[in-house]
């Protein structure tokens, strides 16, 4: 009888222990989040290739302009700046700016003339790029929202997209390019009126009288006066 009782206690102990182990594992897995998979790694390699994709206005200007990755980086910061002053959720705006041109990894960029002769399926490109990655649904939906241009966040990112061109034209002008002068009237007539936000319009106006080197020159003056680092 004692043997049967001890065996019963042992079996009950094993059942309770197994239940505790399952509970701990379930809690651990609940806090781990989704499993990383090979598609995530492939995606990150593809994102790295954005630095190898030229912006197509380089095709018509002959200027050494920003590539797609460089363009995207500044669009993110311009959009975040606008969002801050427009009192909009910066996190969502930054994510939308991150994804706004990712489809061009597979479709390439196209200027206005090229668009007259080519068709690019950016929606399919976005869906295929993010397929089976850990954040596919979120970023595909953000891209689609951006393309609709209905939400304030999407309008902010589009403003940032247009303003990045203004920044680069100003940088090229300092290097001696006359392209900004040649495009100025046309961009004022056709691009400036499409800006959605008041902050975007103020940034546009500030760019025209700005010096791209001021951030450095003013710090240099501080350094020479002995105020650097104080």
What pLDDT shows up at residue 114? 83
Between CA 55 and CA 71 the distance in angstroms is 8
Average pLDDT over residues 95-99: 98
pLDDT on residue 9: 52
**3-class SS letters over the chain:** CHHHHHHHHHHHHHHHHHHHHHHHHHHHHHHHCCCCCHHHHHHHHHHHHHHHCECCHHHHHCCCCCEHHHHHHHHHHHHHHHHHHHCCCHHHHHHHHHHCCCCHHHHCCCCHHHHCCCCCCHHHHHHHHHCCCCCHHHHHHHHHHHHHCCCHHHHHHHHHHHHHHHHHHHHHHHCCCCHHHHHHHHHHHHCHHHCCCHHHHHHHHHHHCCCCCHHHHHHHHHHHCCCCCC
Residue 11 has pLDDT above 50, yes or no: no
- In CATH terms, the superfamily for domain 38-220 is Hypothetical protein af1432 (1.10.3210.10)
153-180 average pLDDT score: 94
On whether the CB atoms of residues 53 and 104 are closer than 8 A, the answer is yes
Q: How confident is the model at residue 202 (pLDDT cuts 50, 70, 90)?
A: very high
Average pLDDT over residues 192-220: 93
The per-residue pLDDT for range 38-90, each reduced to its tens digit, is 999 999 999 999 999 988 877 777 788 899 999 999 999 999 999 999 999 99
Whether residue 28 is predicted with pLDDT greater than 50 in this model: the reply is no
Residue 193 or 6, more confident = 193
pLDDT of 113-165, one tens digit each? 888 898 899 999 999 999 999 999 999 999 999 999 999 999 999 999 999 99
In whole numbers, what is the pLDDT of the chain averaged over residues?
86
């Amino acid at each position: 009888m004692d043997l049967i009782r001890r065996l019963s206690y042992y079996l009950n102990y094993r059942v309770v222990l197994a239940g505790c182990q399952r509970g701990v594992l379930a809690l651990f897995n609940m806090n781990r989040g989704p499993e990383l998979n090979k598609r995530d790694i492939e995606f990150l390699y593809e994102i790295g290739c954005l630095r190898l994709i030229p912006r197509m206005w380089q095709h018509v200007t002959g200027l050494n302009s920003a590539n797609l990755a460089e363009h995207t980086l500044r669009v993110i910061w311009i959009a975040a700046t606008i969002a801050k002053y427009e009192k909009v959720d910066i996190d969502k705006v930054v994510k939308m700016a991150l994804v706004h041109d990712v489809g061009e990894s597979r479709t390439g960029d196209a200027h206005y003339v090229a668009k007259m002769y080519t068709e690019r399926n950016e929606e399919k490109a976005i869906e295929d790029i993010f397929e089976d990655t850990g954040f596919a649904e979120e970023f595909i939906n953000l891209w689609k929202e951006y393309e609709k241009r209905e939400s304030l966040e999407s309008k902010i990112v589009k403003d940032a997209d247009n303003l990045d061109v203004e920044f680069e034209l100003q940088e090229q002008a300092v290097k001696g390019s006359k392209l900004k002068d040649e495009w100025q009237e046309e961009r004022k007539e056709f691009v400036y009126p499409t800006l959605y936000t008041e902050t975007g319009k103020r940034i546009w106006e500030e760019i025209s009288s700005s010096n791209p080197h001021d951030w450095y020159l003013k710090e240099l003056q501080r350094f020479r006066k002995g105020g650097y680092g104080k």
